[in-house]
Amino acid sequence: MQPPRRIRKLFAGDAPTDPEGVRALMEKLAREGDKAGQSDVRLIPQMREAVIERVERTSLRSVAREIGMSPSGLKKFLDGNMPYTKTIHRLRRWYLQHAAEAREELSDEAAFAALRVLVHDLPPGMQAQTVDAMLHCMEQSYTRSRRDIPAWVAEMRERYGLPPR
């Protein structure tokens, strides 16, 4: 049986066998585990608000179907319960697909979640590089179209530790 993909991605080659290597791997897992869900959890109030708006326009059952969860689970989420991690991922996916249509301005949290979705399967060292290239492309497009660069672009550069251009 192979270790989960998340663990396999952390090292190339054989798993460390020495105590220091195992400790370093566990520390890396702990650090990345903390980072992995922070924006998703911080997005919960915005996702809940977007779901409420959508339910008011349609129905609880149709929104639950769009998200990929049960109507009773969606009702509990709307009542303020904290969803399971898998449900948070479904809500985030739905939020990025549907809720952005209804909103004019993209929040920092939504932008961060969208970028994370786009680069999630790249090696950690390539993620910031790729985000930098995407943000540069966005900045150029806004400049060419004579529009102000949205504030979330600078915020994403800061979050990923990228220098301003």
DSSP string for residues in 103-122 = -SS--HHHHHHHHHHHHTTS
Question: Do 53 and 77 reside in the same domain of the chain?
Answer: yes
Q: Which residues of the chain fall short of a pLDDT of 50?
A: 1, 10-16, 29-30, 33-36
The pairs formed by 96-101 with CB atoms below 8 angstroms and a separation of 24 or more are: 98/50, 98/54, 98/66, 99/46, 99/47, 99/50, 99/53, 99/54
Question: Do 32 and 91 reside in the same domain of the chain?
Answer: yes
Q: What is the mean pLDDT of the chain?
A: 78
Q: Are 47 and 95 in contact (CB under 8 A)?
A: yes
Question: Do 80 and 147 reside in the same domain of the chain?
Answer: no
Question: Do 129 and 69 reside in the same domain of the chain?
Answer: no
In a domain, 31, yes or no: yes
Which amino acid is residue 154, in one-letter code?
Answer: A
Question: Do 104 and 129 reside in the same domain of the chain?
Answer: no
Question: Do 130 and 156 reside in the same domain of the chain?
Answer: yes
Q: What is the pLDDT of residues 66-112, one digit of tens each?
A: 999 999 999 999 999 998 888 988 998 888 887 556 655 677 888 88
In a domain, 58, yes or no: yes
In a domain, 51, yes or no: yes
In a domain, 158, yes or no: yes
In a domain, 44, yes or no: yes
Question: Do 99 and 156 reside in the same domain of the chain?
Answer: no
Q: How far apart are CA 112 and CA 27, in angstroms?
A: 24
Question: Do 110 and 87 reside in the same domain of the chain?
Answer: yes
Domain count, the chain: 2
H, E, C per residue of 52-105: HHHHHHCCHHHHHHHHCCCHHHHHHHHCCCCCCHHHHHHHHHHHHHHHHHHCCC
Q: How many CB atoms lie within 10 A of CB 96?
A: 18
In a domain, 106, yes or no: yes
Question: Do 88 and 145 reside in the same domain of the chain?
Answer: no
In a domain, 8, yes or no: no
In sign, the C-alpha dihedral spanning 71, 77, 78, 80 is positive
Q: What is the pLDDT of residue 79?
A: 94
Q: What is the pLDDT of residue 63?
A: 94
Question: Do 144 and 68 reside in the same domain of the chain?
Answer: no
> What is the extent of the structural domain holding 36?
20-114
In a domain, 161, yes or no: yes
Question: Do 135 and 106 reside in the same domain of the chain?
Answer: no
